[in-house]
Amino acid sequence: MAKKMVAKEDRGRKKLPEAGGKEGEIRFDSGIQSTVKEIVGRSGSRGEITQVMTQILEGRDKDKAIRRNVKGPVRIGDTLMLLETEIEAQRLGGGRRGKGKGSSSSSSKKKK
């Protein structure tokens, strides 16, 4: 019913719990290092995403090669810091439809 009054200096600021660090210190989540081994291609509506094959250097999935999407400039040999290593990006170009086993184009012709 009654509105809570907020002082001007507190408005719009989030209060973070003190972690024993210095004031103004920035802390990041730990990442898992991986190295870019191959550039697969570009994707996105304007080609702003680069799909790369990367090899994980540490952690549970060490020496595993996975496909990832990267935004921004990237070259072979660059180091990426991944937050997770279980999800792999989908292949570019999608699947090839209508070619291969059980193709509907050749089997749909009627014999006389």
Query: Residue 58 sits in which domain range?
Result: 28-86
pLDDT tens-digit readout, 7-50: 555 445 555 555 566 778 877 778 999 999 999 999 988 999 99
CB 27 within 8 A of CB 19: yes
Residue 76 lies in a domain: yes
- Give dist(CA 22, CA 24) in Å, integer: 6
Residue 49, in any domain of the structure: yes
Residue 78: per-residue pLDDT: 96
Q: In sequence order, what are the beta bridge partners of 81?
A: 33
The total domain count for the chain is 1
Cα–Cα distance for residue pair 94/55, rounded to 1 Å? 23
